[in-house]
Amino acid sequence: MDWSLDRHLRRRMALTLFALAALTIAFATGVAAVLAWGLEWLSGLFGLGGSFELWLALGGMATLLASVVILWRALDKDAVETFDAAAVGPETYPDLHATVTRLAQAADLPVPSVHVTDRKRPLAMTTGLSTDDTKLVVSTGLLDVLDADELEAVLAHELAHIKNRDATVMTLAELPLASARTLGRTLQHSGGVHIALVAVALASYAFWGIGRLLVAALSRSRELAADRGASALVGDPAALASALKTLDGDVPSAPDRDAREAALASLSIIPDERGTPWPKLTYQDGWPIFWSFRLPVRRVCRRLNERYFRPTRATHPATDERIDRLKSLEREHGT
């Protein structure tokens, strides 16, 4: 079965990356220009020399340095530490290790280190910026609910992520967003009221919001690519479709975990993206005002969120869509 991406998926990923790169360059240039203006203004106050171009270069270097610091902090704690996953050897999980080794050899990849976390929730994800230091993390809940063929397909999906270097791509895509959000929060709580600082703070949040949608779109495309790669690796799209259907029913709708763990769980093969359900709006004696108006408005907002807003923020395509694509792939190749 062909590992390569279909033309539509390739085009969508390329356009998303281009839009994100253009947005990042525009935002970084704006921040560097504001920093340069501020440095030039301060230099004038203290009688220091220097042209605007010099301060622009210094502002750009400061922006780059801040981005590197944010990236370092983001990589300081990975999924292994967050989920308290333990490295396991072939003597502990012989079947798991044998499957991972066989799939890695078939994909022409170094065998990743295998870590297991004692969680009831099914989890499967990879971490690491290069193929040589990749860690594969699975939960005991995943091992319990899947049969051998389904587990092989899920592991193949994760190895397809490694083959496509998705961890590197998504980390680099997330970097400017993390920088923008950190900058916006810093300026928001700095107590400054200068119009330039307010403008940068607002631009940071706007960039983060738009970039968040672009990164989510990129992530959805790469999930579809990993599904296709897994099908090529095991030669059976039906096994992955069956696994997705099984796992989708085991994902909790409102996870009770810290933010870091919930964020990493969104990188799993079936993410926690259903969120907390909208609270049911009922009549309360203390809030009778405009009840006949509030109830239909709330219903419309909920439907709009479910149909339009939530899918655009999701890091994974809908499970039904992924299963339909896998079934089409199965029919296409007659497996």
| 241 occurs within a structural domain | no
- For residue 43, tell me if it sits in a domain: yes
On whether both 59 and 188 belong to a single domain, the answer is: yes
87 is a domain residue = no
Task: Please list the ranges in the chain whose pLDDT falls under 50.
Answer: 52, 76, 253-260, 275-276, 285-286
Note whether 141 and 117 are within 8 A (CB): no
Contact between residue 197 and residue 205 where contact means Cβ atoms under 8 Å apart: no
Question: How many CB atoms are located within 10 Å of the residue 113 CB?
Answer: 16
Last-in-domain residue among 210, 240, 258: 210
Is residue 188 domain-shared with residue 63, that is, in the same domain?
yes
Residue in this structure with the two tokens 């870590």, named with its chain if needed = 115
Question: Is residue 111 within 8 Å of residue 101, measured between CB atoms?
Answer: yes
Distances (CA, A) of 156 to 73, 146, 312: 30, 14, 26
pLDDT at 72: 58
DSSP strand pairing (86-87 vs 124-127): unpaired
Is there a single domain that holds both residue 185 and residue 309? no
**The domain boundary residue, chosen from 155, 181, 210:** 210
The secondary structure of 266-305 as a DSSP string is TTSSS-S-S-SPPPP----TT--TTHHHHHHHHHHHHHHI
Residue 150 lies in a domain: no
Would 205 be classed as within a structural domain? yes
DSSP, collapsed to helix, strand or coil, labels residue 332 as helix
184 belongs to a structural domain? yes
Query: End-to-end alpha-carbon separation of the chain, Å?
Result: 9
pLDDT for the residue numbered 256: 45
Number of structural domains the chain divides into: 2
Among residues 40, 152, 158, 273, the one annotated as catalytic is 158
Q: Give the pLDDT score at 156.
A: 96
Question: What confidence score (pLDDT) does residue 285 get?
Answer: 46
86 SS3 class: strand
DSSP per position, 165-232: THHHHHHHHHHHHHHHHHHHHHHHTS----HHHHHHHHHHHHHHHHHHHHHHHHHHHHHHHHHHHHHH
One-letter amino acid identity for 64? L
Residues 299 and 181 in one domain: no
297 within domain boundaries: yes
pLDDT, position 242: 95
Question: Is there a domain that residue 46 lies in?
Answer: yes
Per residue in 184-206, pLDDT (tens digit) is: 666 666 555 556 566 666 777 78
* pLDDT tens column, 88-115: 999 999 999 999 999 999 999 999 999 9
Q: What is the DSSP string of 239-252?
A: HHHHHHHHHHTTS-
Residues 174 and 73 in one domain: yes
On whether the CB atoms of residues 182 and 70 are closer than 8 A, the answer is: yes
330 is catalytic: no
Residue 112 tokens read as 């990743």
Q: Which one of 210, 242, 261 terminates a domain?
A: 210
Q: Domain span at residue 294?
A: 279-313
Task: Write down how long the chain is.
Answer: 335
